[in-house]
Chains A and B, each alone.
Chain A
Amino acid sequence: MKRILARNAPGYLFLSPWLLGFFLLALGPILASLYLSFTRYDMVSDPRWIGWGNYEYMFTRDRRFWKALEVTFTYVAFAVPLRLAFALAVAMLLDKGLKTIGLYRAIFYLPSLLGASIAIAILWRELFSATGVVNQMLALVGIEGTDWITNPKTSIYTLVMLAVWQFGSPMLIFLAGLRGIPKDLYEAAEIDGTPRWRRFTRITLPLLAPVIFFNLVLQTIDAFKTFSSAFIISNGTGAPADSLLFFTVYLFNEAFKFFRMGYASALAWVLLIIIGVFTALAFLSSKYWVHYDNDRD
């Protein structure tokens, strides 16, 4: 016991800044929000206990709650696979042992650094507006574009594109993963005359599975939490016609616009549970498709 503690102490020491932050800054608000989710709280008068009232309203009467789920799930379903595929494709292109690899990595990572910023969201809104650059380019090839942002049928896909464009961080992780695949496997396959596609499906994908899994979990969580871009592009309301009513945007509106902190807290816990369930599903499924090196022992 003592030995285990001694062995782990450095680990905890290194974790301590994070642990301190968690216990001092995060745990309190988290517990408070759990309590608030069972109350009616308008931020000015004191919270009033209403039991399961918020949750009951959410699931039985709140039309916009279901709309918010629909929008968020649609986004996750498109943005996560597309972003991962794009990140992997770029990572494989970069994994060719170029001398200037550092430079390219930095350039390709740039959108991810900018991605969360307000400026990019505003830029995105302009790009896809009726007279924006996108439509001007489409006009050059004779296609008449719609107003991508104000059309409820297309607005969410502009956000999916924004997500795909921010492929930097999964790309870096993929790149590191690709470096870890022994080159002799490819050489052997090449000598055997294995076509490129089969090399990809039979060597790259299986050996990269742990990294793909890691990225999948991370990106899914991230996608569920998407807020700032949707908030900016929809003017904070989920407009047009609630087509950009992301779960977090809805939550924000309930909390800070309509002063329903209790209800917003309940929404936050439902989101947490949804993310938890999806992460758990990913872990359960990983048994069937993710194999780690030490499995062979």
Chain B
Amino acid sequence: MTKLTRRTLLGTMGVAAAATALPRLPAMAADRTIRHFWWGNPNRDKRTFDVIAAFQKKHPDIEVSGETIGWGDYWTKMATQTAGRNMADLVQMDYRYLFEYTRRGALKPLDEYIGKTLMIEDFDQGPISGGKVDGQLYALNIGSNSQVVTYNTRLIKEAGVEFDPINWTHEDFARVCEAVTKASGGKIKGCDDLSVYIEDAEAWIRQRGNEFYDADGNVSATVDDMSTYWQHWADLRAKEIIVGKERTLTLDEALAERGIIKGDAAMSAIWSNQVVGTQALMQDEVGAAMLPHLKDGKPGQFIKPSMFMSLSRDAKDVDAAIAYMNDWVNDPEITAILGLERGIPCSAKVREALAPNLSPVEQLTMTYFNAIQDKVAPLPLPAPKGAGEVRDSFRRTASEVILGNMSAADAATMFIEDAQSIVERAR
């Protein structure tokens, strides 16, 4: 009796197993498949899926499946897939994470394909070399960008305030904030509260002649760097000319949360490739300014690879993946679809081809990019392991200052200690 039951059971299980296996059989002739995973926004996703369609038309034997998700969840999903040995063949990579992923062995070097199937020899070598780790190329630059203070031209005009968007100082910045706030009767503030963004603080530290991390990956920023920085923002906050704490503390990374788009601030800090996306979400025309300078200070902001494409350790059909990568940066149709949305391409040929057809906002980005070339500092050294966590700690500590729980000086002491121990622990 029991025997029979067991056999029946096994039989049923066999049928069930066969049933689940069935849909896995290849349904189409395109037996070469690659997966591409990127972080995006609606505009970027549309462009990327269009690229995939164009690529598949050119290569009918290769099927590309695209996966997209917002920046915040991207790295969580990426870590999970990496641990599960299930990474997409091609992954979008960021400068901050490149070294962690490379040194953990999750990416494959691209050097052996250069000049054969990956034609990037005539590209600007500066931006390309940003994807090198320990002498080997692990990430293909798919666009360069830099920090930008984007501003609502209508609000600035209405406030009747003038400034030089390239050569302005922190004093000018405060003056503009004050004028905008006054002109709107306090309803619209000058700028988002940037004191929660470590990227903004990094520029400040460099303007003071220091670096956040030194060559050995130690925290080089000092308590004085940080306390002057947070005090500067505390002063602006006290004057109520920047966006209030309710908005700042809930502010997440999403572009749509920025004051310039929400309409409660005239300026927001973003990356230059996001100017296109910002304009798409706004009625008023936007402008682009550099991060304000310190009077007689050094250059602070820098041009960096905005995004990379990397070949993952788990890639199976490497040839197909490289073909996709190559078309991504060379194919005229595909580069035209991409435009400047991911940053300025590092191929002079591609830039030339794009130039006549640029939209006004793309033109603005390009002009801005050209104008800052000799005003920027070199690319900072790659951040050490734990940099992502330091960023979180920065935001947390900045929140304490914003809430008034801590003075700028106390917060600076605590943060520097915290950052040092995070980096220490990550080793």
**B residues within 8 Å of A by Cβ?**
72, 75-76, 79-80, 82-83, 100-101, 104-106, 245-246, 249-250, 252, 386, 388-389, 392, 395-396, 399-400, 403, 405, 421, 425
Contacts and interface: CB of A to CB of B under 8 A. Distances in A.
Nearest to A130: B246
A44 B314 CA distance: 12
B250 A129 contact: yes
24 contacts: A44-B82, A44-B105, A45-B105, A61-B421, A129-B250, A149-B250, A150-B249, A150-B250, A152-B405, A235-B250, A236-B72, A239-B249, A240-B249, A240-B403, A241-B396, A241-B405, A253-B392, A256-B79, A257-B76, A257-B79, A257-B388, A257-B389, A258-B389, A261-B83
A147 interface: yes
Given A147-B245, A259-B100, 6 more contacts: A44-B83, A44-B106, A150-B250, A152-B405, A237-B395, A257-B75
A43 B100 CA distance: 12
A134 to B, nearest CB: 14
Nearest to A125: B250
A152 B75 CA distance: 27
A247 to B, nearest CB: 17
Nearest to A61: B421
A125 to B, nearest CB: 8
B265 to A, nearest CB: 16
Contacts of B76: 256-257
Given A129-B250, A256-B80, A42 B403 contact: no
A210 B388 CA distance: 49
Interface of A: 42-45, 57, 61, 129-130, 147, 149-152, 235-237, 239-242, 253, 256-259, 261
Given A235-B250, A239-B399, A42 B389 contact: no
A43 B83 contact: yes
A45 B249 contact: no
A44 B101 CA distance: 8
A241 B400 contact: yes
Contacts of A45: 104-105
Nearest to B389: A258
A159 to B, nearest CB: 15
B388 A258 contact: yes
A129 B247 CA distance: 10
Given A256-B79, A257-B75, A241 B246 contact: no
A130 B75 CA distance: 30
A61 B105 CA distance: 30
